[in-house]
Every structure is written in C-alpha cells, then in structure tokens.
Amino acid sequence: MGTGEDRFWQEVGNQLNPGWQIHLGPGGVQVPLASQDTFLYLFDTATMWITGGATLSSEMLRARRELQKLKMTPAQVAGLAAEPILECSQAQLTGDHPKVRLAMTAAVCSVTATGTWSAVMDRIGSPAGHWIWMVYRLQDGESLGRPVFSQGPRVFMQEPDLHRALRTALASDLGNPNSSVSQMVRKGGGAVLHPTLQQWLAESR
C-alpha cells in the first residue's frame, strides 16, 4: 500500500478514537463482546483471503459522520479502501496485524458510503447485522469493492453460512450480465477469481 493511503486511513482511525472497537479474529472464530452488534468481513475474490471483526453499530454511525466531513465520493473512498485490503490478502496477514486493522477501518468507512448502506438504514434504521466487503481484482489492474448485508445473530457467521452468502453475491454480481457489478467487471477486462469461486460461479449458471 502506498504511504498516502496508509497515512490517510491512520488519520481517519485516529479521528474515530477513543471507542473505535474493532475486534479481529482470523476465520471469524473469535467470540464478540455482548455489546457488539455489527460484524464486518473482508474478502478478496482472487485469493479467498478473509478476516472478520465485530464492533458497535454506534461506531459504524460515527464512521459515517467522520467520512461525510471529508466530502469524498463513494468511488474515491472505495478506491482508497481496496489497497490496504489487497495488501493484506497478498501477504496473507492475520487478524492481529496492524495493517489488517487499518484495512478494517478502511472497509468500515467504505461500507457507509454505499447505496447498500443507505438502503439498509432506510429499511431497518440501524447498521446492526453482518456486512461483507468483497473486493474484485480486475484484469486491467484496477479493483472493485462492494458490500453485502444480512441480518443474523450477534455472533460471527459460521463458515458454511459465510460461503453461502458469498456464493449468492457472486452469482448476483457475475452470473447476471445486466448487474452493475458485472458491467464494471467487464469494463475492467474481467475479474481475477480464485479457482473455487470459478467453480461456484459455474455451478450457479
């Protein structure tokens, strides 16, 4: 990750402290605190690297307020967030690494800048639930991030449930040629997908 992106998210993280409680656990096996009601998973579709964290819905709302002060477009935020996530994926960093925490901060902020966030807030009035930030690496060297949301118990998703959510999102994104994600992926020359995801996609067609 470039020093500019690194410094940017460090500054954002500093603005959110104290009280910025992201609890990271490789593979989503850590037990969250009773007060934590919002779960975030980072997923790289090229390597199947994944990590998860839990926080308070109030912290997600605070991240949204801080991000609004920066007056950045959703595309700008998502572009900046992709770099720390892809760096963690390439190095296969674990949940306790500082750069993973940085990537989690970036993804949390990116989620709050999306249309999915707005739709969830309009529908249920709270970000509490499970968020997945999926990153697609494109053949032209660019990347594309998108959120997935689902409601569920206040525990980390078990692997079968997480894989089911990812399969559904993948089929929606790439199995439907008319989806906005599919169109953007085609514009970038196609997505670099892990062989397992290629199989999932083939099975969905």
* Alpha helices for 17-97 (secondary structure H): 57-70, 74-91
Q: Are 103 and 85 in contact (CB under 8 A)?
A: yes
Question: Would you say residue 194 has pLDDT above 50?
Answer: yes
Q: Residue 38 class from Cβ within 10 Å (0-12 exposed, 13-18 middle, 19+ buried)?
A: buried
Query: Is residue 1 very low, low, confident or very high in pLDDT (cuts 50, 70, 90)?
Result: very low
User: Mean pLDDT score of the chain, rounded to an integer?
Assistant: 84
Report residue 76 as tokens.
Answer: 């700008």
- β-pairing, 38-44 with 50-55? antiparallel
Instruction: List C-alpha distances in Å: 185 to 46, 51, 134, 135, 174.
Output: 13, 24, 13, 11, 8
* pLDDT for residue 27 is more than 60: no
Q: Is pLDDT of 202 > 60? A: yes
Structure tokens at 73: 């477009």
Higher local confidence (pLDDT), 82 or 133: 133
- Top pLDDT among 178 and 74 is at 178
Which residue would you say has higher pLDDT here, 112 or 23?
Answer: 112
Q: What is the pTM of this model?
A: 0.87
Per-residue model confidence as pLDDT tens digits over 98-146: 888 888 888 888 899 899 999 999 999 999 999 999 999 999 999 999 9
The pLDDT of residue 23: 59
CB 42 within 8 Å of CB 26: no
